Structure 1
């Protein structure tokens, strides 16, 4: 499903003077079947920033005294950001709504294997970040917890901080921009230069996509999830990374999305079926969780009230893994074939590219 294996690890580490992703300190490749440990991958040999590092965020100020060796991540996106700069976390949050219990997202598993790193402990997360499994964090024994895109409360942050230093979100839960997730994670790991290279690679990729499809420039969109059982749709605001990354392609969040926004700075709001005629945009992006849902999306009278849907200008991101690749987009999933590239292909069909 991946268009190309991520180059960010190799290029990012080259930028800081290291291409060694091997198991042993001599730099030799691991023998077949041999894996490095996550601790070895996260050692300080590849850190280029000077420690201590101090990061100020919404829940406090975190001082990281030395390059971390046992990193844990919580929430979304920071696992991929760490891997992209060559650090394999020892523990990561479960993505139960995407890949089920105790499983890794495919691009995450791929990158652990590419690094020759031991797969991590997977922290239980049946409630989408609402409950933190503190005992599992204690058992993983991290020396840093990275959670820049999460829903941590002040209480949860304080408890986790008794286990290890914690890097939380800069402003508010669940709205950290996708590029800031990469920057903050790389900074916390002492690998800012590698993080900059990761972002440069992504910028180049998105710019190339945009250049290939000038016909979509300036088109306005609304990103939604339909909830027929509730008689409403969820509308994502420009604060949500799935919206902001698409704007790098030249498309624009529709003015109506802002005009109807009741979220008070949140990443989504709900709109009742009775108000759908007000959601004006050139096209709609629908996030659907089954192929059956995708096949029938927009057929009902209620959604036909959205002008773009009535005109057939619908882009669909289908099934949980594909939706997760853009929700939020990450350092390893931005080029997942069924995510952003599929969106661009569908737009090209709509607008005749």
Structure 2
């Protein structure tokens, strides 16, 4: 398996702003999909079914056997559902494959073909040669033109309505994938099981409830990125009870991220400051900790900072039904220690 070591999408990458909205939204979504409101029959055993998305409705018959996953982390949802795609899309990092530790058991020994297709550069000829019977693109940021071209090859599921590109919550993505492959019951169980894990974490850590969090990416230090509640990274923390400060939400507007100049680093001061994407930060953690503008933040001086490094950072960026349990187990103790730092 070969691929170039270039990022497939911009380094920055919609919406559950509060715990109440988080739970209510999931409940409503489960009710809708279990009632078949996405159109068509139930399809739980691989029968005919329909999946709604931004560009219309995709009708799928039977149990797909040659699934191509074009969403950057979408293969996680498929593996969780017991589906092994014939091809998955490379995203980032100097890795020989795209299967991360949390998905290794589900992926098994079957190696998918790795598609090195940066954002906006789909190789339609190569995709067609894979002879897919289903193409999943919930996290691919497909344009209408790309969707229409792919739909000529096989039934294609694009990103859902109502969310920015790459902004569908993991619950929505799991349920869409479950419906597409005819395994809705399994998808619902995955969602409810993970929801219970988040609920347990909130009960164990009431100090998270209502606390503010800024999730940031340092980059080269010239422009500081941050993530809104429409992004998977920040949404992990809102799922724990945190909230993104309104000032950052306003700066990001309708996007999942925003940028600030180093001189406005003060905008990142929050009850918890999280630095992610350290692998793409010039100088890594040391560069961040050595920046005088970072050091003067109250969060920095008081130790209310968490650095997401290595596989923790990867799990946060993926934000899937497989990576989030991995993250909950390993990151929550660090988060609690930072928030409770005296």
TM-score normalised by the chain length of structure 1: 0.77
Match of 2:249?
A: 258
Contact 2:159 2:168 in 1 (8 A): yes
- 2:75 aligns to what SS in structure 1? helix
Alignment of 1:76-87 (within 5 A): 76-87=72-83
CA contact (8 A) 1:209 1:249 kept: yes
Partner of 2:89 in structure 1? Answer: 93
Q: Go from structure 1 to structure 2 and tell me whether the alpha carbon gap of 1:106 and 1:139 turns closer, same or farther (over 3 Å shift).
A: farther
Equivalence for 2:127: 137
SS at match of 1:196: helix
Choose which of 95, 99, 106 in structure 2 pairs with 1:104. Answer: 99
What whole-Å deviation, never above 9, does each CA across 1:24-58 have from its counterpart, x for those lacking one? xxxxxxxxxxxxxxxxxxxxxxx625632222211
Shift >6 Å, 4+ stretches:
none
The alpha carbon displacement at 1:91 in A equals 1.3
Question: What does 1:24-103 align with in structure 2 at a 5 Å threshold?
Answer: 48-49=44-45, 51-95=47-91, 97-103=92-98
Q: 1:189 aligns with which of 169, 181, 206?
A: 181
By how many angstroms is 1:102 displaced? 4.4
Change (3 A) 1:99 1:60: farther
Q: Deviations over 1:237-261 (max 9, x none)?
A: 0000121122221222222322333
SS in 2 for 1:100: coil
Among candidates 243, 263, 272, match of residue 274 of structure 1:
263
**Contact residue 217 and residue 278 of structure 2 kept, 8 A:** no
2:307 equivalent to 1:316: yes
CA distance in 2, matches of 1:280, 1:222: 7
CA 342–315 in structure 1, closer or farther in 2 if over 3 Å, else same: farther
Change (3 A) 1:177 1:72: same
Query: Structure 1 residues 130 and 322 mapped into 2: Cα distance closer, same or farther (>3 Å)?
Result: farther
Provide, for residues 52-80 of structure 1, a one-character-per-residue CA deviation record: whole Å limited to 9, x for no partner.
22222112321113322211111233211
Contact 1:71–1:142, Cα closer than 8 Å, also in 2: yes
Distance 1:327 1:178 in 2: 12
**Paired residue secondary structure (1:98):** coil
Q: Secondary structure at the residue paired with 2:138?
A: coil
CA RMSD of aligned residues (A): 2.3
Work out the CA distance in 1 between the residues paired with 2:214 and 2:98.
Answer: 31
Provide the rounded CA distance (Å) in 1 between the counterparts of 2:123 and 2:301. Answer: 45
The residue number in structure 1 matching 2:29 is: none
* 1:165-203 deviation per Cα after TM superposition (whole angstroms, max 9, x unaligned): 110101331111111110110011111111000011111
How many Å separate the matches in 2 of 1:99 and 1:220? 33
Greater CA radius of gyration, 1 or 2? 1
Is the Cα–Cα contact under 8 Å of residues 46 and 183 in structure 2 kept in the other structure? no
**Runs of at least 5 residues in structure 1 that lack an aligned partner in the other structure:** 1-46
How many angstroms does 1:212 deviate by?
Answer: 2.4
| Contact 1:227/1:233 (<8 A) preserved | yes
**C-alpha distance 228-181 of structure 1, shift in aligned 2 (>3 A):** same
Is the 1:179–1:199 Cα contact (8 Å) retained in structure 2?
yes
Q: Secondary structure at the match of 2:93?
A: helix
Query: 1:18 aligns to what?
Result: none
Give the corresponding residue for 1:12. Answer: none
